[in-house]
Chain A
Amino acid sequence: MSRLAKGGLIARDRPVRFRFDGRELTGFEGDTLASALLAHDVRLVGRSFKYHRPRGILCAGSEEPNALVKIGEGGASTPNIRATTQEIYQGLIAHSQNRFPSLRFDLMAVNDLMAPFFSAGFYYKTFMWPAAFWERFYEPMIRRAAGLGALSGAPDLARYDKGFAYCDLLIIGAGPAGLMAALAAGRAGLDVLVADEDFEAGGRLNSETLELDGAPARDWLTTTLAELSSMENVRLMTRTTVTGAYDGGIYGAVERVSHHLGDAPDAVPLEVFWRITARRVILASGAIERPIAFADNDRPGIMMASAVRSYVNRFAVAPGRDVSIFTNNDEGLRTARDLVAAGIGVVAVIDTRADVAADDEFLHLRGAEVIATKGRLGLREITVRASEQTRGQTRGQIQRIKTDCLVVSGGWNPSVHLSCHLGARPVWREDIAAFIAARGAVPGMVVAGAACGEMSAGAALGSGLAAAKTVMAALGGKVARLRAPKAGEEGVKISAFWHVRGGKGRAWLDFSNDVTVKDVALAHRENFRSVEHMKRYTTLGMAPDQGKLANMGALAVMADLTGRSVPETGTTTFRPPYTPVSMGVLGAHGRGVDFAPVRRVPSHELARELGAEMVEAGLWMRPAWYPRAGESHWRQSCDREALMVRQRVGISDVTSLGKIDVQGPDAAVFLDRVYANMISTLKVGRVRYAVMLREDGMVLDDGTVARFGARHFVVTTTTAAAGEVLRHLDFCAQVLWPDLDVMFTSVTEQWAQFAVAGPKSRELMSALCDAEITDEAFAFMGCGEVRLGSLVARLFRISFSGERAYEIAVPAEYGDGLVRLLDQEAARLGGGWYGMEALNVLRLEKGYVTHAELDGRVTADDVGLGAMVSAKKDCVGKVMSQREGLVCAERLQLVGLKPAGASKQLLGGAHLFNLGDEPVRQNDQGHITSQCFSPHLGHPIAQAMVLRGRSRIGETVRMVDHLREVQTLCEICSPVFIDPDGGRLRG
């Protein structure tokens, strides 16, 4: 057991049982999985990405590159969770990853022996030949050998949520700087949101043995947190990582709601993705300690100094028994003192600095370097090259030190990531040998604390307060009298030292992606010298940790090799997200039926009761066909429905078609200008089929215009173009003719509308309405109001089937009632419902067009509606539709097609060729836009766009479907297959 007897912020009275790789272990509430494992001397926790090197816990925060584990089992498991941020809970099950058959004995570790072949860019060079092998063999092989955790393959059943938050001030990081800023801004009454990725607020105040104003820092922390939580205007969100900075003061953040709970209630989401909009932001994200590269510096037992202080002070865990320390700054000695205070032995402090005062308390080797390490599954020994005398002893040049834990500190990298997300570059500060956030990097963002290089607690508190004052000056708040507590701690004294030269083994820079100093040197040798090229060539910084530990070291090595300074070499680009974000939380609210809202038609319930198959039309769900007993194929239902309309009567829900109320003194003038045909001459009580053009002369949409009064029209649109048409009308009214006095609003949702079509449709309508529906009152293309008892309905004598037909509209809340009545009445007349499929058959038989034909590339003339473009007036798109290329003879024109050979198959999208021509692009004569089987005619029919089509009626062409490999001889014919003189229609 390595649990210290006292100290720490863990709840020793609340033990927590968990499993790691099948081993039953116990930790305490307040432990992370990493601290709990260290408490059991579990040092080996994973295998590296490429070489399968044994790896241990390196850090204590979200920057951890090694200790990635799988949490949970089966479908509910989540891979690649950092053990350093995962809280333990009762029954937690964790597994190590990327090893086979076991963590201690991993067969793929053979990769490590073959390392000379696996240098940076090895697969670009090695797997060149044969080309076909890449996808089939090489890539799968590499993917199997290299990797992180694997997904379960089962759907992720966890709940995710998302939300929107607004605040005056977003503070990122609840360490000393962040909390000080929150206190000041909170007391000034600002709406403050503080987000911290840890489950405890406090930052390094939880991990260090600091004093503030002469008392333990924890006292100040407790008081401050109590005050903040009492403020209604301050919201403190722990377990919340701000992952990205975006335009307009918007920040993305992931709140981990129940990763730390074994048995959260069902409705609790696993994570919530927040979009936070803040007027101002204080970035107090702290700093990440960086490693030093030396030979075999990746062994389990080698840890960052700040992490070791966290484990000792916060989690009361001893990381080793005989600890050695390798440092280039004062953090080494600070760690040594904390370890000794906790009763842990320190065997040596290896300080790269030769010019610092010796600390006699320890074996303090100055001007010294670690040049080798031993211990494959856990550190046993280090080799040190020293040049100093300590405690009067003269040490040899090379000495070996037995140690089970080597603590490393190479200085600090301020966490500038979020300040760079909008493209700014950080700036170099020589005194701390680090990049800090540039001033004004993100509009509205102030950087405070270690993130801007204020490394001591005192300086961080002061800079947090100053940042809050800057924000208040901008937002106009009044700062309460407030003093930052005094801290005794001094700033970091560092002399830059990046890597040990001349060691024998590989020296790791990027632990996550297995990139070493040698790889960077190779990139340099092969002229990938820009940091961006080096990154891509070596894959450095491209692992889940995004190079939080690796980037600085690598670019220092590159700077060294190119003879440039570190700031001249520059950094790679920091992009969101700061830490990995699950796809589940990004897709929250969008799974399954929630992917998009579904619009229901008024007959939805009855259609379901009748077992109708539904089809999407935009966001609407419309019945496609209504299967009856004995019908096993959709065509059977569709044919029956289409024939039923032709012979008796059919009813169909057409509510989804757009309906727009157009009213006003200038309504008629307005409609004349937006429609190609004349509308103003339409009489009250009449309907006209109308076509609308785009500005470029192509057809935008077709529909009907009904006149209900001198200044009142109701226009209909297709289902698909309803929104587009309304937007177009709005544009015309606001931008083109603001002088016209016309108002319009969508009434699509107000009216439930049903088509009643077939020879018996008048009989059905008469049975339904209070008064008989006569041809005098409702002639073809007539409209008006009818009464259904106390209800006023609108009736239109229009048809999309070629049969005598009506459309009846009632306020939508009466839709279901009318639907059931129609169903009953239609059945009485031997009719019933027809769906989208039959509707399509009926309109194709009659030669009507839909958006399959009006595909945005056709003029009114192309589809045979040229005569509708009125010569007596102007309209949107008229001039452009008369361009030379649009009126020439060499255009595709709408025609009908019917099979003329042995093969009867007509296929939508298939192309047409002249007989004898090779079926290649250059010989294309057009294509089929829609097709169906006509039960009325007994053979397939189609509409097609054919070159000079109208002048080629009677010609035979060859249909070739290259995709489905079908060829059919077809005869070009009129698109009107039934009732060309309209006798059935007019009744």
Chain B
Amino acid sequence: MVDLTGLSALEGLLPYEVDGAVLSAVSYGAITSIMPFRGQKTAVNVRLKADGGAALPRIGRVSGPVAKRLIWAGRGQYLLLDLRRGAAFDTTPDPAFDELAALSDQTSAWVVMRLEGARAQEVLARLCPLDLRAGVFKRGHVARTELAHMAVILWRRPKGFEIMVVRSVAQVAMRRLSGAMDSVAAQAVLGEIS
């Protein structure tokens, strides 16, 4: 009997730190896409709450505690990010959900990075065309957007952002983010000298 071991797409590459910004990997045990069927949103909410989670968030918003985060991920689609390993719904199918929503395991599909620090927003603004000002893109806000030509989902955290990229480009995204971190940090030093 074989026993395969999982490998993170960013194995050994993070954290990366410069003055004012830290990029680290976040390992969610399970990421599940939830797409409620017609008229089933309330029932899905009841089911989610019974599981100890929060209700589905509004469009462009995040809900739930850190350990069981729910994020809006596009039209009629939500992602449940569970810190517990193996908690993906459809690998251990929950028949209670069968009639309620389309579930797909996406644990391997997404890689999550956390960008934090005083200059996190400035770093992200080098790569992402979104208006990231704290008064506009607030805590609890989430967006599907672009980061250096890669599709990403990002949301604001108390001290920065979490950024989800698809697995196949994770290393590219990491390299672009760390490059932007270097550039911003180096320019900040210039600003302080002059």
A contact residues vs B (CB 8 Å cutoff):
159, 161-166, 191, 257-258, 261, 264-269, 272, 275, 277, 589, 594, 596-601, 619-620, 661, 663-665, 734, 741, 743-745, 747-752, 768, 770, 788-792, 810-818, 821
Contacts and interface: CB of A to CB of B under 8 A. Distances in A.
Contacts of A257: 187, 190
Given A665-B37, A749-B108, A267 B183 contact: yes
A791 B1 contact: no
Interface of B: 1-9, 33, 35, 37-38, 75-77, 91, 101-110, 125-133, 136, 148-150, 166-169, 171-173, 176, 180, 182-183, 185-187, 189-190
Given A597-B150, A750-B109, A812 B167 contact: yes
Nearest to B110: A749
A792 B92 CA distance: 10
Contacts of B102: 661, 663-664, 743-745
23 contacts: A164-B125, A166-B132, A258-B190, A267-B186, A269-B187, A594-B148, A598-B169, A599-B169, A741-B37, A743-B101, A745-B33, A745-B102, A748-B109, A750-B104, A750-B109, A788-B4, A789-B1, A789-B4, A812-B167, A813-B8, A813-B108, A817-B5, A817-B6
Given A663-B104, A750-B109, 17 more contacts: A164-B129, A166-B136, A257-B190, A267-B183, A268-B187, A269-B183, A598-B172, A664-B37, A665-B37, A749-B108, A750-B104, A789-B2, A791-B4, A811-B105, A812-B108, A817-B4, A821-B4
Contacts of B185: 267
A268 B127 CA distance: 16
A716 to B, nearest CB: 15
Contacts of B132: 166
Contact of A165 (B91, B125, B169): B125
Nearest to B168: A599
Given A267-B186, A817-B7, A749 B166 contact: yes
Contacts of B106: 745, 747, 749-750
A28 to B, nearest CB: 16
A975 B159 CA distance: 61
A597 B126 contact: no
Given A267-B186, A811-B105, A745 B35 contact: yes
Given A750-B104, A813-B7, A813-B8, A620 B168 contact: yes
A752 B109 CA distance: 10
Contacts of B131: 166, 277
Nearest to B137: A166
Contacts of B167: 749, 812-813
Nearest to A598: B172
Nearest to B126: A163
A752 B166 CA distance: 13
A764 to B, nearest CB: 12
Given A741-B38, A789-B4, A814-B4, A159 B108 contact: no
A596 B149 contact: yes
A752 B7 CA distance: 12
B37 A750 contact: no
A942 B7 CA distance: 41
Contact of B104 (A161, A599, A661): A661
Contacts of B127: 589
Given A162-B126, A166-B131, A747-B109, A268 B190 contact: yes
A161 B183 contact: yes
B172 to A, nearest CB: 5
Contacts of A264: 186, 190
B120 to A, nearest CB: 14
A399 B46 CA distance: 99
Contacts of A817: 4-7
Nearest to A787: B1
Given A264-B190, A596-B149, A597-B172, A813 B9 contact: yes
A812 B31 CA distance: 13
A816 B6 CA distance: 8
Given A788-B2, A821-B4, A743 B35 contact: yes
Contact of A743 (B2, B37, B166): B37
Q: Quick one: which of B3, B4, B150, B173 has the most chain A CB within 10 A?
A: B4
A597 B9 contact: no
A664 B4 CA distance: 32
Contacts of A266: 186
Contacts of A166: 131-133, 136
A811 B95 CA distance: 22
A751 B88 CA distance: 14
Given A597-B150, A791-B4, A810-B4, A749 B109 contact: yes
Nearest to B166: A749
A912 to B, nearest CB: 40
A750 B126 contact: no
Contacts of A589: 127, 148, 176
Contact of B77 (A745, A812, A818): A745
Contacts of A599: 168-169
Nearest to A770: B1
Contacts of B176: 589, 594
Contacts of B129: 164, 275
A36 B60 CA distance: 56
Contact of B183 (A268, A596, A745): A268
Nearest to B193: A261
A161 B126 contact: yes
A811 B35 contact: no
B185 to A, nearest CB: 7
A455 B136 CA distance: 38
A815 B168 CA distance: 11
Nearest to B185: A267
Contacts of A744: 102
B84 to A, nearest CB: 16
A661 B33 CA distance: 11
B156 to A, nearest CB: 15
Nearest to A820: B4
A853 to B, nearest CB: 27
Contacts of A734: 75
Contacts of A272: 187
Q: Max chain B CB contacts within 10 Å: which of A163, A265, A272, A814?
A: A163
